[in-house]
Amino acid sequence: MSRRSTRLEEKRRTTGVDPYEVIIQQLGYEENLDGEPKLYESDSVSSDDEIFRRPKKRSKQSNEDQGAKGTKDKSASQRIRGRRGILQKVKEMPLDILFETFSYLEPLDILHLARTSHDLRDLLMSRSSSSVWRNARRNIVGIPPLPFDMDEPQYANLAFDSYCHICMQPRCENILWQFRTRCCRNCITTSLVSVSDLVGVWRTTYARTFSVFELVKDYVPYMSVTPWQGPWGGEDRVYYPPVVKRFRREFKAIEKDQEKLDAWVKEKREQYKGLMEHVEQCSSWSKSRHEERKAEFEEVRRRRKEQIVKKLSDIGWAGELQHIPDLVFSQHKLVHQAKELTEKGWKSISGPLLAYLAEHKESRLDNQQITQTSPVPE
Residue 156 or residue 184: which is nearer to Zn ion going by CB? 184
8 A C-beta contact, residue 175 and residue 289: no
By CB under 5 A, is residue 175 in contact with Zn ion?
no
By CB under 5 A, is residue 110 in contact with Zn ion?
no
The single-letter code of the amino acid at 219 is Y
Distance from the Cα of residue 141 to its chain's centroid:
20
Q: Rounded to 5 degrees, what are φ and ψ at 175?
A: -100, 120
Residue 62 or residue 229: which is nearer to Zn ion going by CB? 229
d(CA 133, CA 152): 6
Residue 132 or residue 175: which is nearer to Zn ion going by CB? 175
Pairs from 328-335 (Cβ < 8 Å, separation ≥ 24)? 329/305, 330/301, 330/305, 332/356, 334/308, 335/304, 335/305, 335/308
Of 164, 193, 201, 212, the one binding Zn ion (CB under 5 A) is 164
d(CA 70, CA 65): 9
Instruction: Point out which span in 41-49, 176-184, 265-273, 313-321 binds Zn ion (CB under 5 A).
Output: 176-184
Instruction: Point out which span in 73-81, 183-191, 315-323, 362-370 binds Zn ion (CB under 5 A).
Output: 183-191
Residue 192 or residue 275: which is nearer to Zn ion going by CB? 192
Residue 124 or residue 184: which is nearer to Zn ion going by CB? 184
141 closest CA partner among 361, 341, 289: 289
Give Rg (Cα) of the chain: 29
Of 159, 184, 216, 353, the one binding Zn ion (CB under 5 A) is 184
C-beta of 111: minimal distance to Zn ion in Å? 19
Instruction: Point out which span in 106-114, 187-195, 299-307, 360-368 binds Zn ion (CB under 5 A).
Output: 187-195
Size of the site for Zn ion (CB under 5 A): 5
By CB under 5 A, is residue 166 in contact with Zn ion?
yes
d(CA 352, CA 354): 6
Q: Using CB under 5 A, which residues numbered 327 to 346 contact Zn ion? A: none
For residue 86, the cross-strand partners are none
Of 110, 187, 188, 201, the one binding Zn ion (CB under 5 A) is 187
Binding residues for Zn ion, per CB under 5 A? 164, 166-167, 184, 187
